[in-house]
Amino acid sequence: MLRAKLTRCPRVVASSSSLPASLLHTSPVLQSFRKRRSRVQEQANLSKRQERERLEQTDRPHIVLGTRPSTPERWENSDLAKILVTEKDILDSPVMPLTPTLEHDIQTPTYYNYGLGAQERELLFETLPVLSVEGTSMRRPMDDPKQLLENHKLADEHERRKTVMLARLVDLRNANARGIAFENRRRIISEFSESGKPNDTGRSEVQAALLTLQIRNLWDHLNKYKKDISNRRSLRRLVHQRAKILKYLKRVDQDRYDNVLERLGLEPESVEGELVV
């Protein structure tokens, strides 16, 4: 009888103890909870990574234009975009009057054709008219001051008409696409050349800027004529040529490379790595 009671005693004690029972019942629950929490966290991290990759794919720099869709102002604020002349800019410029007036100065064009620079403009519209009027007046010496003044006035009026005709002739409004491209190339060479070496067409920055102008013009052309296969090959060649020049500049001088990317409005991803156009 006593032996039977002693054999039941450990069972009673074991069943009355709460610690082993609680450990036995809660450990699987904790393990399943931790697994479920880690699985939920992993799914959240995976969704975040997929969303980040999707945003990176949608906001990748354009392989041709070199700008991101989210930051189009990078090109608009670049030095290259500010100096280029477009057809819209030419059409929006004021039209010069046909006849000059003596009360006002002669209105000169906003954009000049044939690559006229500041020195040529000063020579054609400021120096030569004055010399022509003086030469015409001195060619006919007059004793009468009134007659001399009248001849000077007639010569000045005639010279002003000639100057207006010349100004209308050299207006960039009369040029075609080649004339506009010539003026843009002249501006690029002048802007991107080194200060001590004007018109340095062999400089890497100048070549990259000229190629960017050609690429953008060709891209606009291909958007209008999508079946122009020949120019599509030319576009690929120009993009790879620009990347080659910029990669060379990066190897030579990192500061010049970063500076020219900013001035051209290009992202580094549009130049570095494998380019598939």
Count of C-beta atoms within a 10 Å radius of residue 21: 12
- Hey, is 86 helix, strand or coil? coil
% pLDDT > 90, the chain: 33
Given CA atoms 116, 119, 122, 123 in this order, what sign does their dihedral have? negative
> CA-CA distances (angstroms) from residue 223 to 217, 228, 264?
10, 10, 21
Query: Any alpha helices (H) in 60-176, and if so which ranges?
Result: 73-76, 79-83, 87-92, 118-122, 128-139, 145-169
266: left (phi over 0), alpha (psi -120 to 50) or beta: beta
Instruction: Please say if the pLDDT value at position 148 is more than 80.
Output: no
Q: 93 with 111: CB under 8 angstroms?
A: yes
Instruction: Please say if the pLDDT value at position 105 is more than 60.
Output: yes
Domains along the chain with CATH numbers = 72-86+176-270 (1.10.287.10), 97-170 (no CATH)
112-116 contact pairs (CB < 8 A, 24+): 112/170, 112/171, 112/172, 112/183, 113/170, 113/171, 113/172, 113/174, 113/175, 113/179, 113/183, 114/170, 114/179, 115/182, 115/183, 115/186, 116/170
% pLDDT > 70, the chain: 80
> CA-CA distances (angstroms) from residue 135 to 10, 51, 125, 126?
135, 78, 16, 15
Write down how long the chain is. 277
- Give the position of tokens 């006229």: 116
Q: 250 with 65: CB under 8 angstroms?
A: no
Instruction: Please say if the pLDDT value at position 141 is more than 80.
Output: no
The contacts of residue 154 (CB under 8 Å, 6+ apart) are: none
Instruction: Please say if the pLDDT value at position 14 is more than 70.
Output: no
Could you read off the pLDDT of 108-120 as tens digits, one per residue?
888 988 878 888 8
Q: Which residues pair with 112 in a beta bridge?
A: 171
The contacts of residue 20 (CB under 8 Å, 6+ apart) are: 14
Instruction: Please say if the pLDDT value at position 75 is more than 60.
Output: yes
Instruction: Please say if the pLDDT value at position 62 is more than 90.
Output: no
Could you read off the pLDDT of 247-265 as tens digits, one per residue?
999 999 999 999 999 999 9
In this prediction, residue 238 has a pLDDT band, given cuts at 50, 70 and 90, of very high
In this prediction, residue 32 has a pLDDT band, given cuts at 50, 70 and 90, of confident
Q: 27 with 35: CB under 8 angstroms?
A: no
In this prediction, residue 159 has a pLDDT band, given cuts at 50, 70 and 90, of confident
Mean pLDDT over the full length of the chain = 81
Instruction: Please say if the pLDDT value at position 157 is more than 70.
Output: yes
Q: 78 with 87: CB under 8 angstroms?
A: no
Q: Choose between 103 and 184: higher pLDDT.
A: 184
